[in-house]
Every structure is written in C-alpha cells, then in structure tokens.
Amino acid sequence: MIDLHTHSLLSDGVLVPSELVRRAAAKGYRAMAITDHVDASNYKAVVSQILAFVSESRGALEIPVLPGVELTHVPPAMIASLIERIREMGVLWVVVHGETLAEPVREGTNRAAILGGADLLAHPGLITEDEVKLAAEKGVFLEISARKGHSLANGHVAALAKRYGAKLLINTDAHAPSDLVTVDFARRIALGCGLTDADFNEISKAALACVKERG
C-alpha cells in the first residue's frame, strides 16, 4: 500500500508523525505522504513542522515519507497562489480538498485545484466531465477515497477518469490508526467502484512513481 493522503496531529489527526509512519509500516505500507490540513492561517507553521520531521528523520524511518499538505476549504481564488507559496517552502506533494459530497466545499474548488497546480485532487465528488478532461491534460491525480462520506462518489470519479484518461490514486485520508488499510483492502475499494485488477495495478505503479520522482 502506498498512501498519499494522511493526517497527523499537526492538523486534525490523532497521531504524531512518527507513530503514524510506524503504524503504516506495520500495516504493510511501502511509502506514504503526510498531508495535514492547511489554509492561509497556518500553512507556514504546519509546513515547517512537516519538513522538519522528514528532514530530521531521514534514514531512520522504515518507509519513504513525502512531506505534503492538503489545502482545505481554501477559497478558489486563493488556491493557486497558496500552492505556489507552499511549494517555495519545499513541500513535495500538494493535495487540495475537493468538492466532496460530505462537506460544503465551495463550487469552483475542483477546477481551481487543477489549474492551480495541485498534485492530487482529493475526493472530488461529482466532478464534471470538463474538469476530468482538464485533470487528464494537466496530469493532476484524482482520488478514490477509502474514507467514509468522501467515498460516496468513487464510482463516478472512476468512470469518468477511465473515460477521459485521468490518473487515479487510492488513498485513505487517514486521521486515526483504524483508517489505515492493507493493500488487499485497497484493491477491494478499487473493485467496488468499478475498476479492475489491472486498473488497480496501474494505480499502484503510479503511486510508487510519485514517491520515487519526489523522494
């Protein structure tokens, strides 16, 4: 399992980064990203702490860890500039909290994330065909989510991604130890939203490539 959307207690998760990584490794993870929630109010503090953890732990952790963030409920007009500032600080993996069915995310967030240069659009809900085409064009990953509520539109996202050639990742959006999953369970999530074993294998390869390219 390679999970590129997780949270520690640096935002609303329950574990310090070290324990999050240890529990993921014990679950059989091969790599992960820590992507705590940020907006304009806290990104400097959270990014600094995540980067310090990854830097100071280099060589000691059991699995590779990408330093990331998840821009969450950021007004669409601010997304591109905030992504730029975060990347300048050294973040390697930028997630944007998409227009999930489970929360009142502002309309236009999905499009702003894709155009603004996010790496991953998390749980994009009822994303439009034009937005999926744009994600395919820009190389932005769309998420198939293991998280309750956010997973409601997985079938819609998977079908459009396959139709228009957009890239997919399967992530947990983990906030607690119980949210972490095995690779077998991740495969079942893929099959449950209409993907095939071959699709899942391609998604796994793409996730590994993300880690190698940025690690």
What CATH number does residue 93 fall under?
3.20.20.140
pLDDT value at 142 more than 90: yes
E-strand spans in 72-171? 93-97, 120-122, 141-145, 168-171
> How confident is the model over 5-42, as pLDDT tens digits?
999 999 999 999 999 999 999 999 999 999 999 999 99
Q: Which of 94, 99, 95, 131 lies closest to 115 in space, CA to CA? A: 131
pLDDT value at 160 more than 90: yes
Q: What is the pLDDT of residue 57?
A: 96
Instruction: Kindly indicate the confidence band of residue 215, based on its pLDDT and cuts at 50, 70 and 90.
Output: confident
Q: What is the pLDDT of residue 205?
A: 98
Q: How many angstroms separate the CA atoms of 186 and 2, rounded?
A: 10
Domain assignment of residue 175, given as a range: 2-214
The tally of domains found in the chain comes to 1
> How confident is the model over 174-193, as pLDDT tens digits?
999 999 999 999 999 999 99
- The first and second tokens of residue 133, run together, are 């085409």
Percent of all residues in the chain with a pLDDT value above 70, rounded to a whole number: 100
| 49: number of Cβ within 10 Å | 16
Q: What is the pLDDT of residue 111?
A: 98
Q: How many angstroms separate the CA atoms of 67 and 32, rounded?
A: 9
> How confident is the model over 42-94, as pLDDT tens digits?
999 999 999 999 999 999 999 999 999 999 999 999 999 999 999 999 999 99
Whole-number mean pLDDT of the chain?
98
Phi, psi at 105, each rounded to 5°: -70, 140
Q: How many angstroms separate the CA atoms of 173 and 160, rounded?
A: 21
